[in-house]
């Protein structure tokens, strides 16, 4: 897929208890809200685990990130399904690389924003 300015890339993911447990091991982010279920049996997803959604575009298109900005709007819980939409803002071919800049918004199954932000980088 060749990217162009204005392209929108969407995908979704439902976070599980296993996701949180694995990320807790890797990140050592052991806040009580990540390891103790609430009254509904849910855990709060680590913010940086939620932030893996927009970084998927980078992985899919071999982007070397230079900047990443996140605004964590509201918590994400195990069992939540999050749709992430990334919009390509800049895609400029240069001599030996391509500069890319994109914005994103992540929305839960209740149509509430949970994460917004942007990233920039290069594709070699």
Q: How would you write the pLDDT of the chain (124 residues) with one tens digit per residue?
A: 578 999 999 999 999 999 999 999 999 988 888 889 999 999 999 999 999 999 888 888 889 999 999 999 999 999 999 999 999 999 998 888 999 999 999 999 999 999 999 999 999 8
Q: Retrieve residue 124's tokens.
A: 């070699």
CA 68 to chain centre: 10
**Number of other CB atoms surrounding residue 49 within 10 Å:** 21
**Global confidence as pTM:** 0.90
Q: Would you say domain 8-14+52-123 falls under CATH 3.40.50.720?
A: no
Determine how β-strand 81-93 pairs with β-strand 113-123: unpaired
4 torsion bin: left (phi>0), alpha (psi -120 to 50), beta (else): beta
């Amino acid at each position: 897929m060749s990217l162009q300015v204005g392209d929108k890339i969407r995908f979704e993911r439902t976070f599980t208890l296993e996701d949180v447990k694995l990320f807790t091991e890797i990140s050592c982010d052991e806040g009580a809200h990540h390891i103790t279920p609430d009254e509904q049996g849910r855990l709060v997803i680590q913010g940086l685990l939620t932030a893996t959604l927009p970084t998927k575009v980078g992985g899919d298109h071999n982007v070397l990130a230079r900047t990443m900005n996140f605004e964590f709007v509201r918590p994400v819980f195990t069992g939540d399904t999050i749709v992430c939409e990334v919009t390509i803002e800049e895609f400029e071919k240069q001599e030996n690389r391509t500069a890319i800049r994109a914005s994103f918004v992540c929305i839960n199954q209740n149509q509430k924003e949970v994460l917004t932000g942007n990233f920039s980088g290069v594709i070699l």
